[in-house]
């Protein structure tokens, strides 16, 4: 018998695969896991196919194909208002997942504290544990009758910072709440950062999906924050290509140097033709600019449709997620309700409690489910009809 000691004894199958499996078994519509049920733009597919045909098809440089790093630089100047050096600061990674993991493993030492703002994306805590760090959880204010949205509690975040704080994890636009940052948030963050010496890992995977004409607000738009920030993003959500796993990480060179040491020995380099194809597509297309409007139409379609149901949508400011308040269906743990909805209505969703340290805790259960609207209109309409019948 092999004596195997797990490094992550508490980690099992994620709620995303659990709900997807249930959806498959019950032939339910899957509004749970966050991926589109449509193809990327044909021009992008052609650009990648051409790159495969023409090559090169051998190892890319460890830090990424130069044309793609240049395109990321240009995109980040336009979108986040910060100029990174493509050679020293930008690294192409295997999705945002690898950028986040390599960053945490490179920057967090044993005993370092990492602040997570709950609800938080499920990758952060286990990777902090792998790095030997300690997670410090700060909850967002949950929605109330007066303020029917999650909101950031900057006082609580300030209180959580100690001399041992190494990293503050941010994720805006926010999965699962759809919350975006405002300039006041950056004021508060700058104020805290001025008194402490921690890094900020800003997961901006949904940077190009912000609604109602609002801009994407990133911490790297403030020079005082950019100097301690690692900006992570991905082409998965931007190009409807979650299966391609191409992302990137931008940070001042001294930080990037450390992140690259981990990237080098976990992934080394990322698919060459994918990088070349994406770089040439980014040069010729305005596709990114239409993305917010594309998803806003889907958000509005779902919100409008749900008026006929007993689910009460909260406002989504960005991402392709919508939270719904389920109190009209009775009280109970969110996960039970998600399972019930899959069985009785034929629609799979994700309980928001899954984004907390202890999903079973009362403080993690606010009677909220997350619905993904990155689906064809016909899929959304089917789901709306089924939910209205509940
Ligand atoms: C907040 C957040 N960060 C990171 C990722 C992972 O991105 P990628 O698929 O590029 O690895 C996701 C994917 O769902 C996400 O929602």
Cα of 178 to ligand 1 centre, how many Å?
Answer: 14
**Ligand 1 atom 15, closest CA:** 205
Between CA 142 and CA 119 the distance in angstroms is: 9
**The pLDDT value given to residue 284:** 84
Q: Where in the chain is the domain with CATH 3.40.640.10?
A: 42-287
Q: Which residues line ligand 1 (CB under 6 A)?
A: 34, 95-97, 121, 171, 175, 203, 205, 234, 236, 242, 245, 247
| SS3 at position 310 | coil
Count CB neighbours of 131 within 10 A: 22
pLDDT one digit per residue (tens) for the chain, 390 residues: 788 899 999 888 888 889 999 999 999 999 998 999 999 999 999 999 999 999 999 999 999 999 999 999 999 999 999 999 999 999 999 999 999 999 999 999 999 999 999 999 999 999 999 999 999 999 999 999 888 899 999 999 999 999 999 999 999 999 999 999 999 999 999 999 999 999 999 999 999 999 999 999 999 999 999 999 999 999 999 999 999 999 999 999 999 999 999 999 999 999 999 999 999 999 987 889 899 999 999 999 999 999 999 999 999 999 999 999 999 998 999 999 999 999 999 999 999 999 999 999 999 999 999 999 999 999 999 999 999 988
Cα of 180 to ligand 1 centre, how many Å?
Answer: 16
Q: Which residues contact 257 (CB under 8 A, 6 or more apart)?
A: none
**The pLDDT value given to residue 58:** 98
| SS3 at position 110 | coil
**Ligand 1 atom 12, closest CA:** 205
Cα of 97 to ligand 1 centre, how many Å?
Answer: 6
**Ligand 1 atom 3, closest CA:** 205
Closest ligand 1 atom to Cα of 121? 1
**The pLDDT value given to residue 205:** 98
Cα of 125 to ligand 1 centre, how many Å?
Answer: 14
Count CB neighbours of 142 within 10 A: 19
Angle at 277 between CA 65 and CA 33, to 5 degrees: 100
| SS3 at position 349 | coil
Assessment of whether the complete model's pTM goes beyond 0.95: yes
Cα of 330 to ligand 1 centre, how many Å?
Answer: 32
Cα of 308 to ligand 1 centre, how many Å?
Answer: 32
**The pLDDT value given to residue 146:** 87
Cis peptide before 176 (omega within 30 of 0): yes
**The pLDDT value given to residue 1:** 77
Cα of 204 to ligand 1 centre, how many Å?
Answer: 9
Q: Where in the chain is the domain with CATH 3.90.1150.10?
A: 15-40+290-388
The topology (CATH level 3) of 42-287 is 3.40.640
Count CB neighbours of 123 within 10 A: 16
Residue to mutate (ligand 1; options 17, 102, 205; most atoms within 8 A of CB): 205
Q: Sort strands 199-203 and 165-170 into parallel, antiparallel or unpaired.
A: parallel
Angle at 127 between CA 1 and CA 206, to 5 degrees: 140
Closest ligand 1 atom to Cα of 175? 1
Q: What is the CATH code of the structural domain delimited by 15-40+290-388?
A: 3.90.1150.10
């Amino acid at each position: 018998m092999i004596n195997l000691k797990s490094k992550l004894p508490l980690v099992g199958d994620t709620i995303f695969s659990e709900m997807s499996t249930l959806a498959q078994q019950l032939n339910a519509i899957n509004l749970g896991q966050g991926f589109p049920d449509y193809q990327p733009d044909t021009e992008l597919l052609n650009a990648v196919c051409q790159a495969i045909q023409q090559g090169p098809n051998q190892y890319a440089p460890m830090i990424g194909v130069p044309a793609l790093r240049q395109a990321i630089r240009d995109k980040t100047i336009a979108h986040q208002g910060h100029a990174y050096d493509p050679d020293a600061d930008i690294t192409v990674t295997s999705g945002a997942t690898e950028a986040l993991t390599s960053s945490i493993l490179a920057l967090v030492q044993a005993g370092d504290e990492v602040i997570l703002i709950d609800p938080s994306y499920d990758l952060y805590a286990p990777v902090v544990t792998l790095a030997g760090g300690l997670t410090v959880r700060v909850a967002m204010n949950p929605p109330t009758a007066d303020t029917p949205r999650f909101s950031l509690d900057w006082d609580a975040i300030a209180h959580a910072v100690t001399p041992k704080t190494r990293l503050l994890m941010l994720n805006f636009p926010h999965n699962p709440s759809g919350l975006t940052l405002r300039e006041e948030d950056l004021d508060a963050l700058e104020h805290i950062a001025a008194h402490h010496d921690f890094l900020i890992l800003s997961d901006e995977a949904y940077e190009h999906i912000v609604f109602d004409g609002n801009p994407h607000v990133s911490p790297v738009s403030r020079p005082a924050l950019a100097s301690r920030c690692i900006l992570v993003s991905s082409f998965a959500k931007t190009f409807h290509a979650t299966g391609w796993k191409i992302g990137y990480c931008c940070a001042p060179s001294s930080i990037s140097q450390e992140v690259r040491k981990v990237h080098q020995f976990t992934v080394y380099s990322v698919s060459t033709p994918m990088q070349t194809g994406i770089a040439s597509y980014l040069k010729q297309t305005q596709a990114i600019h239409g993305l917010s409007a594309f998803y806003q139409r889907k958000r509005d379609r779902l919100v409008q449709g749900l008026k006929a149901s007993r689910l009460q949508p909260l406002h989504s400011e960005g991402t392709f997620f919508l939270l719904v308040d389920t109190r009209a269906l009775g009280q109970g743990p969110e996960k039970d309700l998600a399972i019930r909805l899959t069985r009785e209505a034929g629609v799979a969703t994700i309980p928001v409690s899954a984004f907390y340290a202890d999903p079973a805790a009362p403080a993690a259960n606010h009677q909220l489910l997350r619905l993904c609207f990155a689906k064809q209109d016909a899929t959304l309409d089917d789901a709306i009809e089924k939910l209205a019948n509940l």
